[in-house]
Amino acid sequence: MATYVKRAFKYRFCPTDAQAAELSRTFGCVRKVYNLALAARTQAWARQERVNYNQTSAMLTVWKKTEELAYLNEVSSVPLQQALRHLQVAFTNFFGKRAKYPRFKSRKKSRKSAEYTTSGFRFRDGKLTLAKMREPLAIVWTRPLPEGVSPSTVTVSQDAAGRWFVSMLCDDPSVQPLPATDTAVGIDVGLNHLLTLSTGEKITNPKHERRDRAALTKAQRRLAKKVSGDGANRAKARRKVAKIHARIADRRRDTLHKLTTRLVRENQTLVIEDLSVRNMVRNRSLARAVSDAGWADLRSMLEYKAQWYGREVIAVDRWFPSSRLCSACGALRERMPLHVRTWTCDCGTAHDRDVNAAKNLLVAGLAVTACGADVRPQRSTPGGQSATKQETPRRKP
């Protein structure tokens, strides 16, 4: 039996008042069950005991029988069970040292979502009806689901801007490996230009946040002047800020999707730099610009799309001196200040800083493919200094 890629298709929908009320209750119950189970597991952890999913599921049955938590029976049990499964995954990642200890969900800050498995929804004739609801959701079908495919999991969510979304996880038979090619490209990310390719092409940074900065600043000032609390005026001002953030994020995501799809389709091998974006955003001077560029999302998209279509993404060590290394003769410069955008090597070759870095990344990535992990080109300066020496912890814009 053929195996297909699991792919989520996300759509907006407009719930009726009754549906919105039911979903809001479900979100609250999911958050309550998650927090209760986390508290129980935390208390057991303090006693040097472990509580698994089956035990928390039994606790949920007991909670529903109490007078205080009887309202949990009013919503579908499927999202509540899924919340316990998500908590189990969180603890598995914690014990595997892949994540921090799970945190409690906040009513104001946490994502509002509920996950339904096949027993919690009905999908017939292109209409989706959730448990505890009589009418199907009014989904805006911006694109059809793959022909003959039904969702295995449905996740309903509401963002901070008040928009409703439904995400359907399906097997997508249309995702197949692309024909192999012999093309490879080195990719250097930056702030002046979002990407610089080893071919010499430079892709302009759209700077989506800067386009809406004035409107965002105005909305944030109005929000700051509102009295703290749950007042209607403050909630309205908060949604105004959230809508601007959502518009910025949507444009950024659309740009990155189009760009990464093009790169994956055109190249068999893509070489990038293994940047630590989390550490870079701690720099107050660069945090806003780095976050707006979306480097982490860019890498994530490249990696999963390459896996879908039979391509390869190689990450070169972040300390590889790509900017200071001459791509023509291999000479390594001692220093390369950030304001130097063009330079001429002693061999007479004139370099654009970013294009030169992309070319060096490509060579280093191909060396990794040919010789194994952590292998870099062994180049030397005229004075005998190895080109593999780690660069000082700086990052060019």
DSSP H helix total and E strand total for the chain? 10, 13
Q: Residues 186, 198: contact at Cβ < 8 Å?
A: yes
Can you read off the two tokens belonging to residue 248? 């910025």
Q: What span, in angstroms and rounded, lies between the C-alpha atoms of 395 and 386?
A: 20
Q: What span, in angstroms and rounded, lies between the C-alpha atoms of 92 and 100?
A: 11
Q: Residues 23, 155: contact at Cβ < 8 Å?
A: no
Active site residue 354: yes
* Catalytic residue (choose from 22, 188, 209, 292): 188
* Catalytic residue (choose from 273, 312, 352, 374): 273
Residue holding tokens 């700051």?
224
Q: Which helix (H) or strand (E) holds 178?
A: none
Task: Using DSSP, state whether 232 is helix, strand or coil.
Answer: helix
Q: Specify the amino acid at residue 173.
A: P
Degrees (nearest 5) of the Cα angle 37, 40, 41?
85
Helices (H), the chain: 17-46, 53-65, 77-95, 208-211, 213-225, 232-266, 277-280, 287-293, 295-309, 353-371
Residue holding tokens 């870099």?
376
Q: What span, in angstroms and rounded, lies between the C-alpha atoms of 196 and 13?
A: 38
Q: What span, in angstroms and rounded, lies between the C-alpha atoms of 259 and 96?
A: 34
Q: Beta strands 164-172 and 5-12: pairing type?
A: antiparallel
Q: What span, in angstroms and rounded, lies between the C-alpha atoms of 272 and 198?
A: 11
Active site residue 297: no
Q: Any long-range contacts for 214-220 (C-beta under 8 Å, 24+ apart)?
A: 215/244, 216/241, 216/244, 216/245, 216/248, 219/244
Active site residue 74: no
Instruction: Supply φ then ψ for residue 359, to 5 degrees.
Output: -65, -40
Q: Beta strands 269-273 and 312-316: pairing type?
A: parallel
Q: Residues 69, 104: contact at Cβ < 8 Å?
A: no
Where in the sequence numbering do the catalytic residues fall? 188, 273, 354
